Structure 1
Amino acid sequence: MNPLRMMVLSLTGACNLACRYCYASEQDARTMSWDTARRAVDLAAEGGGPFILQFSGGEPLLALPLLVQIADYIRGNRIRARMDIQTNGTLISDEAADVLCDAGIGVGVSLDGRPDVHDALRRFPDGRGTSSAVITGIQRLTARGKEIGLTTVVTAENVAALPGVIEMAYYLGNVRIVGFDLLRGQGRGVSVRPAREEDVALAMERVFALCRKLERLTGRHIVIAQAEQASCLAQRTDGGFSHCHAMSGAGVHVDALGRIYACSSFVGDERFLLGDVAHGIDARRQEELAHEMQRTMAFCCTCTDFLRCGGACYARMTGEHAICTAECALKRAAIKEATSN
């Protein structure tokens, strides 16, 4: 088995929201057992090197006691894991905020724009918008001096309003980085229209212009994840798909039942199943899948932007050699911004 650099741990398939585009809406709603979680962490630690352990779901804060148990286990055994969580933000209570801060867990919160835009996409099951609950949760972290990241899912409905995410980031006061995640066409995502290439290009131009303006006015710098990635990739010495842990065979997703998949986008798809925490990872299958994804995306290597882009996302392919052109527009805007700085 290749040493793992990243493991996404789905603590539960359950979620307290009913977001219109959720790609994970069809996952098993059960919660991971402690034994499964421990086996998964031990598996990732076998390589001996540092790795990222990202808590995911569903909504991982629904399994807060399990999260605490895992964090205590990692610290108690001095496992070289950087712990992160991606949360919808609505369950960041005082207790949860204390846990995240005390355990040194990096926090990413999903926010799709200003309240009216966010509420149209991310709702409670009864139809109510979630922005108020998300902002309240973030403010609990702000009060504790905890910096966070924001993740925005980009669709046709909110692409024109992406600068509003930057406005919210400066308003909240504790946002260090903002990342834009294009719609995934799985789960409920198949019923939401993806953003067009030209709309993404224009939106990102406005995003970067607003970032520069607000930085001059406030003296605060907020990183755009895609621009940071472009800067990092410019320093690399290899020419492969090193930005994607799945494509390099160094990342996995473990679902709540302990099944191991090559990528979070393909949970439940037997073609991407690599094993389970009880029996380990099928190293041959892991290598075969990594090579298969790289072969499928090999046409990216002929692009003049490849070295700073790292290639398109395999999960967003819509057919043979049919890349998501909106992703290309997003990354080209980020490369332009990174090059100009």
Structure 2
Amino acid sequence: MKSKGIGAVPLRMLVMSLTGSCNLACRYCYAAAQDRRTMTWETARRAIDLAATGKMPFTLQFSGGEPLLALPLLRQIADYVRSKRIPARMDLQTNGTLLTEETAAFLRRARIGIGVSLDGRPAVHDALRCYPDGRGTAADVVAGIRQLAQCGMEIGLTTVVTADNVAELSGVVEMAYYLGNVRRVGFDLLRTQGRGSAVRSARAEDMAQAMEAVFALNSKLGRMTGCTMAISQMEQAACLAQRTGSGFSHCHAMNGAGVHVDALGNIYACSSFVGDAHFLLGDVERGIDVQRQKEVAQEMQNAMAFCRTCADFSACGGACYARRAGQGPPAVSAAECALKRAAMKESLNVAVQCNKRTGQ
């Protein structure tokens, strides 16, 4: 077991589950069975110190559960990162329902990037993301986003795509422009772990049609407002189009450059497999078993080897292993391919139009 540092290569992503507790009961939650305890300060400090031994900039992402249920710990972490001058970009993924004026002000001072989960217009969102008693959460999410806007914070939205909301994804774009402080939207396909196993995945043809509508509306509203919102999948496609190498570049777990630390200090290869001993790589006290990390990364790459035979592999970066795990023999996720191909096509169209305007 390795005693110092995380992994065989410098860490680029450390995801920390500050607590397994959550105030919502989303229909598709892949982490529903997580331990509900909250991370201790000592566990958090050890995780950050292990990541920092790589002496390279990395992303420190706070997740849960709902990480704002562990707000005192989050404050301690932010102070520690700043005081120790740790080269970490801090990001928070939240359901948005607990964002108060005071919390928003703290997040701004701490320079923590914010991603809020929003699955569509209020009725669509409420059908998927609700409180344990069944009440919808959209009104509280919008109120939380407005608190961030009032203190000058720009945010990103994350939308989980299922068969139930795929036809309504353009509504997310409308909401983003309506809210005013959203600068990026990303679409995250359903993962079938946890409660997600009971929810239907989007079909490829529906995904393709939905993204066509998303891109068209985003372009239209961008022209109207003078500020076109970024789409995460398009940004990734544009970045990959410029690379000279190949491989599963989209997934840090497949490359040994990213890990997830749960609230108890256990280190896993991926957030989707918290609690699964097969993907356990170590803990924050003893560090990572580097050999096991390499084996898991290779296992993931081998399972997704069919991606390498695709003509779009270099520009795509490969599919998500977690979305295929537990689905029988490895096979192409048609909806994921449709999403990525649509993003690559639109990214190319935008680049061509830009070149025409600049005379290149």
TM-score bracket for the superposition, by shorter chain length:
over 0.9
- Establish whether residue 326 from structure 1 lines up as the match of residue 335 from structure 2: yes
From 16, 32, 40, the counterpart of 1:33: 40
CA contact (8 A) 1:2 1:283 kept: no
Task: Give the AA of the match of 1:334.
Answer: A
> Which residue is equivalent to 1:9?
16
Kindly indicate whether residue 211 of structure 2 is the aligned counterpart of residue 204 of structure 1: yes
Which letter does structure 2 place at the counterpart of 1:56? S
- Secondary structure of 2:214's aligned partner: helix
How far does residue 221 in structure 1 lie from its aligned partner after superposition?
1.1
Q: Deviations over 1:224-250 (max 9, x none)?
A: 100110000111121111221000100
- Asked if structure 2 preserves the Cα contact closer than 8 Å seen for 1:19 and 1:123, the reply is yes
8 Å contact kept, 1:240–1:310: yes
> Given the alignment of the two structures, is residue 43 of structure 1 paired with residue 19 of structure 2, yes or no?
no
Q: How far 1:319 sits from its partner (Å)?
A: 2.6
**Distance (whole Å) between structure 2 residues aligned to residue 148 and residue 320 of structure 1:** 38
Q: Residues of 2 paired with 1:158 and 1:7: CA distance? A: 30
2:132 to 118, 122, 125: 125
When structure 1 is superposed on structure 2, of 107-116 and 215-224 the one drifting more is 215-224
**Matched residue, 2:244:** 237
* Structure 2 equivalent of residue 228 of structure 1: 235
Letter in 2 for 1:123: C
Tell me what 2:77 maps to: 70
Q: Which of residues 19, 22, 39 in structure 1 aligns to 2:26?
A: 19
Contact 1:14/1:29 (<8 A) preserved: yes
Structure 2 residue matching 1:340: 3-state secondary structure: helix
Contact 2:21 2:36 in 1 (8 A): yes
Give the match for residue 181 of structure 2: 174
Aligned partners of 1:153 and 1:214: how far apart in 2?
22
Q: Quote the residue 1:150 is aligned against.
A: 157
Which deviates more from structure 2 when the two are superposed, residues 168-177 or residues 293-302? 293-302
**Could you tell me which of 326, 336, 346 is aligned with 1:337?**
346
Runs of 4+ in 1 over 3 A off after TM superposition: none
- Structure 1 equivalent of residue 107 of structure 2: 100
Q: Name the SS for the 2:307 alignment partner.
A: helix
Quick check: 1:14–1:30 contact (8 Å CA) kept in 2?
A: yes
Question: What one-letter code is carried by the residue in structure 1 that aligns with 2:58?
Answer: F
Name the amino acid aligned to 1:331: K
Deviation at 1:144, TM superposition (A): 1.1
1:288 aligns with 2:295: yes
CA deviations over 1:123-151 (Å, ceiling 9, x no partner):
01111100000000000111111010000
Contact 2:307-2:318 within 8 A present in 1 as well: yes
Aligned residue identity for 2:170: P
Equivalent in the alignment of 1:183: 190
Structure 2 gaps, min length 5: 1-7, 351-360
- Confirm or deny that 1:271 pairs with 2:260: no
Match of 2:92 in 1: 85
Deviation at 1:320, TM superposition (A): 2.3
Contact 1:316–1:323 (CA under 8 A) maintained in structure 2: no
SS at match of 1:61: helix
Q: Deviations over 1:176-230 (max 9, x none)?
A: 1100000100111111111111110100010001011111111111011001100
Aligned match of 1:141? 148
Identical-pair percentage: 71
- SS at structure 2 position matched to 1:206: helix
Amino acid at match of 2:221: L
- SS of 1:22's equivalent in the other structure is coil
Hey, what's the Cα distance between the residues in 1 that align with 2:80 and 2:160? 32
Do residues 256 (structure 1) and 300 (structure 2) align? Answer: no
Q: Deviations over 1:258-306 (max 9, x none)?
A: 0000000110110000000000011111111111111111210111111
Instruction: Tell me if the contact between 2:259 and 2:270 (Cα under 8 Å) persists in the aligned partners.
Output: yes
Deviation at 1:308? Answer: 1.4
Once residues 238 and 25 of structure 2 are traced to their aligned partners in structure 1, the CA distance between those partners, rounded to angstroms, is 36
Q: Distance in 2 between matches of 1:63 and 1:339?
A: 42
What SS does structure 1 have at the residue aligned with 2:345?
Answer: helix
Q: Distance in 2 between matches of 1:125 and 1:316?
A: 26
Q: Aligned-pair distance for 1:107?
A: 0.2
Amino acid at match of 1:263: C
Paired residue total:
341
Alpha-carbon distance in structure 2 between the residues aligned to 1:61 and 1:99: 12
Deviation at 1:87, TM superposition (A): 0.2
TM-score, length of structure 1 as denominator length? 0.99
CA distance in 2 between partners of 1:320 and 1:312 (Å): 15
